[in-house]
Amino acid sequence: MELNKLTIKQAHQGLIKKEYSAFELAEAALTQIRKHDQLNAYLTITDELALNQARKVDKKIANQEEIGLLAGIPVSVKDAILVEGIKCTGGSKILENYIAPYDATVIKRLKKADAVIVGKTNLDEFTMGGSGENSAFGPTKNPHDLARVPGGSSSGSAAAVATDSCVYSLGSDTGGSIRQPASFCGVVGLSPSYGRVSRYGLMAHASSLDQIGPLTKTVEDAKLVFEAIQGKDDKDSTSIDKEYEVQNTSYELRDTKIGVPKEYFVGGIDSQVEKLVRKAIAQYEKMGAQIVEVSLPHTEYAVPCYYIIGPAEISANLARYDGIKYGLSEKADNLLQGYLRTRQKGFGYEVQRRIMMGTYVLSAGYYDAYYLKAQKVRTLIKQDFVKAFEKVDVLMTPVASTPAFKLGEKMDDPIEMYLADIYTIPAKLAGLPAISIPCGQIGKLPVGLQIIGNQFEDEQALQVGQVYENLS
């Protein structure tokens, strides 16, 4: 039995039947991490923490104590989410030696569930990027083709799940940072509704967009992880108090209306990607779902809107990295010089670019022309979704217009890189749940189908995704 290939439920069943120990599961994951070292998926491997957590679970099993579904199951964590006592770099030189002083709320919840944390995964610096190439510690590579990107910013998390070096991983999604790497690496990725999962302990990128979510091998696993980490948190005022809805095991697609936005199938999409996504939607129709064409007319403004609002929030959030409170601190003759030297040496080019864009759109004379206008456009994009969900239950679209592109292919053209998120950004601006599930391959490169749910209806999006997974 290859322990590292198990899903959460399979691993749990084996543990309670005593077919293997949590310690053996952890060792299998740690061995697999080192076997795939060439991917650069992990920044920190937490052997000692993982094995101690595994021993604790084995002791509970030996004492015939009941254990939960996540107990003893190896998980990796994106290196922008704090795990107490473990290095947390955010993929940046400015935090190269920063040790997290506390646990993020999601980590507290996983520890309470007796999860086994095997390492911290690589990412685009401060979660800014759609390719996995912007890390200060080198790019992550796609496990299906080492010459290609794994997607970003949760690049290491997606690559780790795809290579079975953990059973599941936690990532974060601001504009597509869970779903796009999930699509490129052929795994499942859930970006929850804004507010369903606490952001406390996640390094802030854009506070009105960031959400932590799972990357998993199956939709069923994504459900289990989401159930464990979701819920109201007093330390995050944007988190909502919504009870998790236990799912109906006999979900009927006959009652489901699936919307297909016509604006998502236009020029620019790879013909083979479109073919695979349409084939998946046709499968739903065969199973009894009703397919309805809908319109989201303001979709074309989503990317420019996002790249005004996102950088504006970045310029405020990253002001804390000043070389005084924590992280890198460059010597200087005066305070301003200290700020400038620290940030010049500590921040990569993409982070610097977005800080400057954000500072510009918030500056006197430009605030109304850019930031205020972008917020009005965001409202129009949200209204498009509200109207669409009056007619349908979920929406189905591609995750990305192409499969994984080659390393370095878009690095010299930031606009082309930003356009890679064209299908994932609109749902984020509207605060909606969206999941990427594998729906086929072009050669050896995976393609993802995106299922977008109505606000706070994460459970339904997951349930619709699981129907397709069960079919295949």
Catalytic residue positions, numbered: 78, 153, 177
**Mapping DSSP to helix (H, G, I), strand (E, B) and coil, where does residue 258 land?**
strand
- Among candidate residues 238, 203, 243, 255, the one with its CA nearest the CA of residue 81: 203
How large is the greatest C-alpha to C-alpha distance in the chain, in angstroms? 71
- DSSP states along 387-446: HHTTT-SEEEEES-SSSPPBTTSSTT-HHHHHHTTTTTHHHHHTT--EEEEEEEEETTEE
Question: What's the Cα-to-Cα distance from 7 to each of 24, 25, 34, 252, 419, rounded to whole Å?
Answer: 15, 12, 20, 25, 34
CA neighbor of 71 nearest in space, from 3, 5, 16, 6: 16
Task: Compute CA distances 252 → 76, 458, 459, whole Å.
Answer: 34, 17, 14
- Which candidate, 86, 81, 80, places its Cα nearest to that of 53? 86
DSSP conformation class of 150: -
Q: Are 122 and 135 in contact (CB under 8 A)?
A: yes
Q: Report the C-alpha dihedral over residues 91, 117, 44, 107, rounded to 10 degrees.
A: 30
Paired tokens of 470: 């069960």
Q: Is the peptide bond before 153 cis (omega within 30 degrees of 0)?
A: yes
Rounded to 5 degrees, what are φ and ψ at 124?
-65, 140
